[in-house]
Chain A
Amino acid sequence: MNTDKAYIFGLIIGGGVFGNSKDTFYIKLPYEQWGDAAKNPTRAGKIANDILKVVRPVFKSIYNIDVSYEVSPKWRIVCSGDCSVLLNDLVDHDINPLGEVRKNAYIKTVIMQLIDDNMKRRFLAGLADTIGSTTPSHRRFSDDTQILSFEIAGFNFDFVCDLCKLLSSIGCYPDQVLWNHPNMHSGRDAYYKSWKKGFKLRVTLDQYSNFGVFAFRTKAESSAENRKKQNKTNIAEHCKVKAVKVHDATAVHVDENSLILPETIRGGHYIHHKHFCAVLGCENAPYSDIDECLSSAEKYINPFTILHKGMRIEIDNIVNSTEIMKSRDYNEVSYTVEDLLSVFETNSMALIFSDSIDSGYPISTIIDAITYIVAAKTGMLHGKRPRGNRLNLLNEFAKNNPKTDIVFLVPDLLTPLIVVDDDVAALVGPVNPKVYKKLISFDKTNKYKMLVRNITENDLK
């Protein structure tokens, strides 16, 4: 290993795509919008310049490989020539040069060879130049916290964990890791099928600028531009000392047992992004905080969906194909939007349609459900998302339609409530921690892996 190879390995692990040829391979640059030549020709020109000035000479010098690039249909670096020395080097470092490398890469051997912080930075520069996204939409809540997001396709949880540890080891403590798992990408909707959006390992740009590096000028410039939008400087904390706060419950998703998930992760239910770190055995995971959260995990899980919105026919299908929902007796009740808003304004944490203090349907989620219904009625939907502020939308509707009722189908046991309209409907899952506690157990070989069994009628009686 040397500093130049470390950078090349970073590029290849970030974007390398290998076929059977020993003479050509590609490095995919997922620059989509950010590098769109039609929208931003200046930046596209600079990206091309970076490839020719940074990538080409280093490949030529180390492996005598020629480098060119393609912009259409997508950005990619084309590497050609006798690649056999490079391929052998990759294999020697346990990197299998076949297919899309980052999806299956085992990077522990490479990381062991990165003998000091400088070498680690060279490797990270290669990764940041390929999969480190500086798209301005990566920010935490406001412009004041700009983010560099390492975007990783596939289900290689170990790769993400290893990369995260590597970043931490040079002081780039992650702001958050969005794991490619339904509990992360679809925490509230147990039936959302398009949750496979990849991993996002997010580091604040302040932290990365202090301790990490880019080799592409375009990335460094874009990072500097984004940081200029901040009115404060962000200081990241090490994972071990950063408090773990679980704000909301996550729904048990139908794909938690999917075979595309690695065995370590498969079958588990996760309540926080750091819960994954503990299950993966990361040395930086805040184990005592996770222990504490798991000791009251019943508050943070829901064996049903928390909210699912869809066409009425789709909701009917879900109800009819789920025994515990299908065999319920439903009582139809109606409320005006104004009534429901009034309950919400009195106590936004209220649980309704229940006689118990700690179980029932959260009014806040019901407000989300009826916002969807109202937005569908008024043509204010964008996909399944209502446009604009939910309370403004509901107040406006209540003002113009004071007598219009929202219809609820309330089940005889605490299974999901159905909010219905002509064409659309929504399911709202109940809060019921005393019952949910009975569903939780932990894997015998991994005490942090939480298992949630299916709920039965007996549990609810």
Chain B
Amino acid sequence: MNNKSEISYYPEIMSFIEAQIISNFKASYGKELQVFCKTGELSSGLRNIINENHLKIKDIDDFATSVPPLNLDIFAIITDGNKFEILILEIKKTKSVGLNQWSQLVGYCIVSNARFGLLINIDAGASLRLIDLLQNDINISTIQRIKAQGNNSVHILGMMEWNSMTKNIEYSNLGSVPSISKLCNLIWERFNEDFQS
């Protein structure tokens, strides 16, 4: 394992994820999406993205205001101009990620109400225990919450690996987001939920 810090990989990971999501939406659905990635504090980061890009999306201002302060490795707003989704990337650079790191991602998603989350380990995979859990219990990666107010919230999570040599995401098939193209399908379904129902 090389000595580069975890943070130094953020720009290349962000640019990779951004490019894949934009390509997939354009190719699969003929839709030009906007993907805005940032690192650091979520609430102020969201407000900066909204202001810098003059985003006029329903509920996004309320979301940015109501979300509690949360320091994240990478987060992204993905929007088709009408709706938006938040994707959280929890980046690790460790020999193997385990339940500890997975729990961290789950926690961030619950607190921020982000629907999508990816745990990404740089040049390494997951512990046997986490593999076992993610392979055998879907409830660990698709989490349905009934909030105190009664409304539902769903979090869909996956685990992938960043290959620093090829600058490419490698899939582990662990969790409920097995690939970036599947993640795009899930986001597309979400954007079209009103039409479908």
Contacting B at CB under 8 A, from A55-90, are 57-58, 60-62
Chain B residues, Cβ within 8 Å of A118 = 19-20, 22-23
Q: How would residues 13 to 27 of chain B score, 1 for a CB under 8 Å from any chain A CB and 0 otherwise?
A: 000000110111011
Q: How would residues 384 to 417 of chain A score, 1 for a CB under 8 Å from any chain B CB and 0 otherwise?
A: 0000000000000000000000000000000000
A114 — nearest CB in chain B belongs to which residue? B27
Determine whether the beta carbon of A62 is less than 8 Å from that of B166.
Answer: no
Chain B residues, Cβ within 8 Å of A60 = 173, 178
Determine whether the beta carbon of B166 is less than 8 Å from that of A3.
Answer: no
The reply to whether the CB of A220 lies closer than 8 angstroms to some CB of chain B is yes
Complex CA gap A144/B63 in Å reads 55
Q: How would residues 27 to 63 of chain B score, 1 for a CB under 8 Å from any chain A CB and 0 otherwise?
A: 1100000000000000000000000000000000000
Determine whether the beta carbon of B27 is less than 8 Å from that of A1.
Answer: yes
The reply to whether the CB of B182 lies closer than 8 angstroms to some CB of chain A is yes
Chain A residues, Cβ within 8 Å of B19 = 118
The reply to whether the CB of B101 lies closer than 8 angstroms to some CB of chain A is no
Determine whether the beta carbon of A3 is less than 8 Å from that of B181.
Answer: yes
Work out how many contacts link A and B, with CB atoms closer than 8 A.
70
Chain B residues, Cβ within 8 Å of A62 = 179, 181
Complex CA gap A2/B27 in Å reads 6
Determine whether the beta carbon of A115 is less than 8 Å from that of B27.
Answer: yes
Determine whether the beta carbon of A53 is less than 8 Å from that of B27.
Answer: no
Q: How would residues 165 to 190 of chain B score, 1 for a CB under 8 Å from any chain A CB and 0 otherwise?
A: 11110111100001111101000000
Query: B27 touches which one: A54, A113, A224 (CB < 8 A)?
Result: A113
Quick check: which of A152-160, A208-216, A314-322, A373-381 contacts chain B, the rest being far away? A208-216
Determine whether the beta carbon of A54 is less than 8 Å from that of B170.
Answer: yes
Determine whether the beta carbon of A215 is less than 8 Å from that of B27.
Answer: no
Complex CA gap A227/B172 in Å reads 30
Chain A residues, Cβ within 8 Å of B178 = 57, 60-61
Contact status of A217 and B163, CB under 8 A, knowing A57-B171, A115-B27: yes
Chain A residues, Cβ within 8 Å of B28 = 1-2
Determine whether the beta carbon of B173 is less than 8 Å from that of A213.
Answer: no
Q: Which of B166, B167, B178 has the most CB of A within 10 A?
A: B166
Complex CA gap A1/B23 in Å reads 10
Given A3-B181, A62-B179, 18 more pairs with CB closer than 8 A: A1-B28, A2-B184, A3-B20, A53-B170, A54-B168, A57-B171, A57-B173, A60-B173, A60-B178, A61-B171, A61-B173, A61-B182, A62-B181, A113-B27, A119-B27, A213-B167, A216-B166, A224-B165
Q: Could you pull out 12 A-B pairs where Cβ atoms are within 8 angstroms?
A: A3-B181, A54-B168, A57-B171, A57-B172, A57-B173, A61-B178, A61-B181, A61-B182, A62-B181, A118-B20, A119-B23, A213-B168
Contact residues of B with A, CB < 8 Å?
Answer: 19-20, 22-24, 26-28, 161, 163, 165-168, 170-173, 178-182, 184
Contact residues of A with B, CB < 8 Å?
Answer: 1-5, 53-54, 57-58, 60-62, 113-116, 118-119, 122, 125, 213-217, 220-221, 224
